[in-house]
Amino acid sequence: MTDSLCTHLRFGRILLTGAAGNLGRQLRPRLKRYCDQLRLSDRADLGAAAAGEELVQVDLADKAAVHQLLEGVDVVVHMGGISTEQAWSAILGANIVGLVNLYEAARAHGVKRIVFASSNHVTGFYRQDQVVSPQDPIRPDGFYGLSKAFGEGLAQMYWDRFRIETVSLRIGSSFPAPRDRRMLATWLSYDDTERLVMSALTAPVVGHTIVYGVSDNPLTWWDNTSARHVGFRPQDTSEGFRAEIEQRQGPIDTSDPATRYQGGAFVRSGPFID
């Protein structure tokens, strides 16, 4: 990041799940600056460990392995699981069974805060001419979005019953640059992703908070007013990409469900019953 993040908190050990995924690879070197030890987990190969890293290859559906994974952890940044619309059995194992395993292990080991990678697809069937807040009813656009809605409900229950705090991040589209006109509204820069995660980890009191993960884009479908207590202030914007994207993409076809609904192409894919 070009600017310094305003936090003086430092953690002993942060667990980052899904460390081999798109956002996991971006967060891996960034989170190390805020902790003494960074524990990284994924089903995929994680390469060689850098200084201060601990690598654990684990399937989230393996209850015993996840229990061991949480030992000695201060906070969790949970980016693991399935991130696209896939067969129900895959989503069930990774995003539902795996998440229950994670929260149960956190409870057993006394972990008090989790940052959970939810998704904008929890509300993907709202139209693009609507502005949605975390207080509005869910409208998932498939099994993937539905699994993330389950995750938010699970986080709420573990806060109410066991006082484990969670910030659920309804992440938009986190890439180096927005790719199309939809992403002019949903884009989240990698630097703003770091700001969002660290705000979620260091805000004094969060209970269970839902916040949309989006940069400071002029075009927006999401209202984060109710989550201002987390302290996330995005610094980047999609506006600098607008002219090139509009020239390249041209007018959109409003008869296409992917251009009517906030979930984009996800409203046309699946759900896949296997």
Residue 146 in this model has a pLDDT that exceeds 70: yes
Is the pLDDT at 4 greater than 60? The verdict is: no
**Cα four-point dihedral sign 19, 23, 28, 33:** negative
Using CB atoms within 10 A of its CB, is residue 110 exposed (0-12), middle (13-18) or buried (19+)?
Answer: exposed
* C-beta neighbour count of 1 within 10 angstroms: 15
Q: Residue 3: inside a domain, yes or no?
A: no
- Res. 6: pLDDT tops 60: no
Residue 24 lies in a domain: yes
From the list 212, 222, 116, 97, the residue with the least C-alpha distance to 159 is: 116
Q: What is the mean pLDDT of the chain?
A: 95
Query: Among 34, 103, 126, 144, which one carries the catalytic annotation?
Result: 144
The stretch 50-72 carries a mean pLDDT of 97
pLDDT at 272 over 80: no
pTM for the whole structure:
0.95
* Mean pLDDT for the stretch of residues 114-138: 97
34 labelled catalytic: no
Do residues 106 and 70 lie in contact, with contact meaning Cβ atoms separated by under 8 Å? yes
Report how far residue 99's alpha carbon sits from residue 18's, in angstroms, rounded to the nearest whole number. 12
The residue ranking higher by pLDDT, 236 or 273, is: 236
Separation CA 261–CA 189 (nearest Å): 22
Residue 2: the pLDDT is 42
CATH number, position 81: 3.40.50.720
Query: Taking the alpha carbons of 169, 174, 180, 181 in that order, is the dihedral positive or negative?
Result: positive
Mean pLDDT within 43-49: 96
pLDDT tens-digit readout, 228-250: 999 999 999 999 999 999 999 98
- Confidence grade of residue 9 (pLDDT, cut at 50, 70, 90): confident
Confidence tier at 252 by pLDDT (50, 70, 90): confident
The arithmetic mean of pLDDT across residues 158-168, rounded, is 98
Q: Please tell me the predicted confidence (pLDDT) of residue 238.
A: 98
Is 187 within the bounds of a domain?
A: yes
Residue-wise pLDDT for 173-230, tens only, equals 999 999 999 999 999 999 999 999 999 999 999 999 999 999 999 999 999 999 999 9
- Domain holding 141, by residue range, is 11-268
Q: Is residue 5 part of a domain?
A: no
Rounded to an integer, the average pLDDT of 74-90 is: 95
1 occurs within a structural domain: no
> Is the residue at 145 inside a domain?
yes
Kindly report which listed range (37-46, 122-131, 187-196, 253-262) carries the lowest average pLDDT score: 253-262
- Number of domains within the chain: 1
Mean pLDDT of the region 119-144: 97
pLDDT-based confidence at 166, cuts 50/70/90? very high
Whether 273 is covered by a domain: the verdict is no
User: What pLDDT is stored for residue 271 in this prediction?
Assistant: 67
The whole-number average pLDDT for the span 163-170 is 98
Tell how far CA 119 is from the center of its chain: 6
For residue 5, what pLDDT is reported? 59
In a domain, 6, yes or no: no
